[in-house]
Copies of this chain bind each other. A is one copy, B any other.
């Protein structure tokens, strides 16, 4: 019999009704069993991963992709530990977020419920299989996992460990479904199943996210890019500014919460930019500078709008001197990707104005953009970062994998 993604989706939807009503205790016991299974089956998982690795080398996959694909004993233990960590997080399902007794005696409340069926579409990292499955499951959802073809054998082995845990607790295996066929046509069909799938979460490069958005009517959590700005105000503490600038640009340039543009108030440019130039020279950061700031840097080139729009994800930055706070805000509003923006200032009025005026997902005062992360902001684990404002905006934890229903309790109430 050939594989049918439509059948898998219907069965996952049925399983979602079961997962939605599991107690927190049961869900946590399942997660602990998944973790134990992963560690117990590590030899089998590593053997499957070896097949993927061999195929990847034969197919001349990029070095960075091969590293993402690789599993080791240590990586499996880390994956298992993160499942245990998810078991320790509070369960969002059933949380009462509002309750009131209406004038007519009706009792109204709002309660958190699972979204239903979430489809994860991702690339070569096998750890996403376990991560996404655990987060969706803890939030009471069923999930359809569609990983990249490079990781198929690894994913099948990981899913096997997961399914053994589900079976032990009499939970339908389709609570966590893995698409066993990496054919692109099957993925395209998955994107059309809006009756069965409540949410799509693509995890990977911008092309993947754009492809999923363009080809589906199902809501998509989008995270296109992070063009994070640091604005150093004339009342900024330049020591803090430098520390935060270096942390934001140099510590881990390849991630979305790293800095891509530095805006400096003209009154502090003369004092600040020479230090910046020396520091960036030391860290080999390539600079694209505006006309006014260009003279401070050796080997910098003139910044264009393309630079202000760029997510370099590398040791590379755009720098601009602004005449005023307002010019900084206007620049940010024009080029912002809606991810994270930072102001460095000691002026409390300006800090509050910045918080009011900037509506990116994360707005920061005197802190590094690198904190823009679900774990760092106290959400526990993170399923993604949304840069579209609907449903969730910014780092998404377990709560973002749920919605709210109204519960109304009467005693024979009718409307007049």
Tell me the A residues contacting B by CB distance below 8 Å: 17, 20-21, 94, 100, 102, 106, 108, 111, 113-116, 198-199, 213-214, 217, 219, 237, 239-240, 243-244, 246-247, 251, 333, 351, 355-357, 359-368, 370-372, 376-378, 388-391, 393-395, 403-415
Contacts and interface: CB of A to CB of B under 8 A. Distances in A.
Contact of A243 (B108, B366, B414): B414
A405 B393 contact: yes
Nearest to A100: B378
A395 B406 CA distance: 9
Contacts of A111: 355
Given A361-B406, A366-B410, 4 more contacts: A111-B355, A362-B406, A371-B415, A394-B405
A410 B365 contact: yes
Given A363-B407, A408-B365, A415-B371, A213 B219 contact: no
Contacts of A409: 351, 364-367
A253 B91 CA distance: 40
Contact of A251 (B199, B351, B367, B415): B415
A198 B391 CA distance: 12
Contacts of A370: 414-415
A359 B404 CA distance: 9
A371 B416 CA distance: 10
Nearest to A413: B367
Nearest to A364: B408
Nearest to A105: B367
Given A115-B390, A390-B390, A406-B377, A240 B411 contact: yes
A355 B408 CA distance: 9
B365 A415 contact: no
Copies in the complex: 2
The 7 closest A-B pairs by CB, nearest first: A367-B410, A240-B412, A247-B414, A370-B415, A391-B391, A219-B390, A367-B413
A371 B372 CA distance: 41
27 contacts: A17-B333, A20-B357, A102-B376, A102-B378, A106-B367, A108-B377, A111-B355, A198-B390, A213-B217, A239-B412, A240-B411, A246-B414, A247-B415, A355-B407, A359-B405, A360-B405, A361-B406, A362-B405, A362-B407, A368-B410, A371-B408, A377-B408, A390-B390, A390-B391, A391-B391, A393-B404, A394-B404
Contacts of A393: 403-405
Contacts of A351: 409
A18 to B, nearest CB: 10
Contacts of A406: 361-363, 372, 377, 394-395
Contacts of A251: 414-415
A364 B410 contact: yes
Contacts of A415: 247, 251, 368, 370-371, 376
A413 B217 contact: no
Nearest to A377: B108
A381 to B, nearest CB: 16
A115 B409 CA distance: 32
Contacts of A362: 405-408
Contacts of A413: 244, 366-368, 371
A376 B406 CA distance: 12
Contacts of A365: 408-410
Contact of A219 (B361, B388, B410): B388
Contacts of A356: 21, 94
Given A116-B359, A407-B363, A237 B390 contact: no
A367 B239 CA distance: 63
